[in-house]
Amino acid sequence: MQIHIRRWTLIGMSLVAVLCAASWAHAATTTVRIGIGEYPPFKVESELGGGALTEIVVESFKAKNITASVDWVPNNRAIAGVMAGYFDGSFGWAHSPERDEALLFSSKPIYTYRMVFVQRAGEQRDWNSLADLAGMRIGITRGNFYSQPFADLKAQGVLTTDEASDDTNSLQKLLRKRIDLFPLEYSVARYLMASKLDAGEGAQLTVQDKPFWTVPIHFVVSKKVPNAQELIDAFDAGYRELQRTKRIDVLERKLRR
């Protein structure tokens, strides 16, 4: 009798362990905490749905019955937070050696940014390669990555940079002639100049049309999250579902406005 009791006790304990594990796995895949910063018009906290890129990510997870909880923080905190594992995921990020070590990337990019330079109107800022910008003061935003060639030239001392906490501050520096150029995504540059500067200030700046970097951006998950691979797989599957139903076409049209 003692043997049977012990056997059933062990079986009961095993079942409890299995149920607890299943319960944890279910909980781990029903919610994902995402940290992002504003990058209008793609990510806008005040806009219904949070902007078109936010809608794409949230709806991709919703297609797999996962709720995306979005925390709005400064961009540098968003990328630092997901790399440290404070957030499960984030989006709008390009590959870099440092990020590749800490993050899993979606199998497909969710959009392609066109990185260009903003300059003062009426000034001559021609270039064929980034090295041609030697001697100019280039504004950068803390936490942002501007391509590996840009990073290499900066490390070599070829490019002179001036860091700011956000993009609007750098535009103000450009107006005050503290910097000569500022790299921004094309649509973001036009949006910020129209919404964050008055008409007179906006008229003093112009956006170059030639990109120095065309960059696919992704949804990312921290490798420090226990179910990281499961989350990135769920996102990829949900994104494919949006493609299958053509919902992605509706959302992407918002990105091209």
Once rounded to an integer, what is the mean pLDDT over residues 159-167? Answer: 95
Residues 76 and 104 placed together within one structural domain of the fold? yes
Report the pLDDT averaged over residues 64-92: 96
Same domain membership, residue 203 and residue 89: no
Same domain, 186 and 130: yes
Tell me: pLDDT of 21 over 50: no
The tokens of 170 are what?
């750098």
Q: Retrieve residue 70's tokens.
A: 């979005």
- Position 73 scores a pLDDT of 96
Q: Which of 164, 113, 115, 143 is nearest to 36 (CA)?
A: 143
CA-to-CA distance for 148 and 95, rounded, in angstroms? 9
Domain extent at residue 45: 2-112+215-255
What's the domain count of the chain?
A: 2
Q: Does one domain contain both 177 and 248?
A: no
More confident residue, 6 or 49: 49
Indicate the pLDDT class of residue 29, thresholds 50, 70 and 90.
Answer: low
Q: Of all residues in the chain, what percent carry a pLDDT higher than 90?
A: 80
Pair 11, 67 in one domain: yes
pLDDT per position as a tens digit, 175-222: 999 999 999 999 999 999 999 999 999 999 999 999 999 999 999 999
Query: What pLDDT is recorded for position 144?
Result: 86
CA distance 233 to 105: 10
Q: Are residues 102 and 121 in the same domain?
A: no
User: Domain of 92: which CATH number?
Assistant: 3.40.190.10
For residues 234 and 25, the answer to whether their CB atoms sit within 8 Å is no
Same domain, 91 and 119: no
Task: Please say whether the beta carbons of 238 and 64 come within 8 A.
Answer: yes
Same domain, 77 and 168: no
Q: Which residues pair with 184 in a beta bridge?
A: 116
pLDDT recorded at residue 10: 39
Note whether 222 and 243 are same-domain residues: yes
The reply to whether 103 and 222 lie within a common domain is yes
Say whether pLDDT at 8 is over 60: no
Amino acid at 196: K
Write the CB contacts of 196 (distance below 8 Å, at least 6 apart in sequence): 168, 171
Residue 166 and residue 221 in one domain: no
CA 193 to chain CA mean position, Å: 21
Long-range CB contacts for residues 124-132, cutoff 8 Å, separation at least 24: 125/180, 125/181, 125/208, 127/212, 130/159, 130/212, 131/158
Question: What's the whole-number average pLDDT of the chain?
Answer: 89
Show the tokens assigned to 154.
């900066």
When pLDDT is averaged across residues 116-137 and rounded to a whole number, the result is 97
| Least reliable range by pLDDT among 23-32, 74-83, 129-138 | 23-32
Given a contact cutoff of 8 angstroms between Cβ atoms, the answer to whether 171 and 192 are in contact is yes
User: Is 80 exceeded by the pLDDT of residue 30?
Assistant: yes
- Is residue 13 pLDDT above 70, yes or no? no
Percent of the chain with pLDDT over 70: 88
Say if residue 206 is in the same domain as residue 156: yes
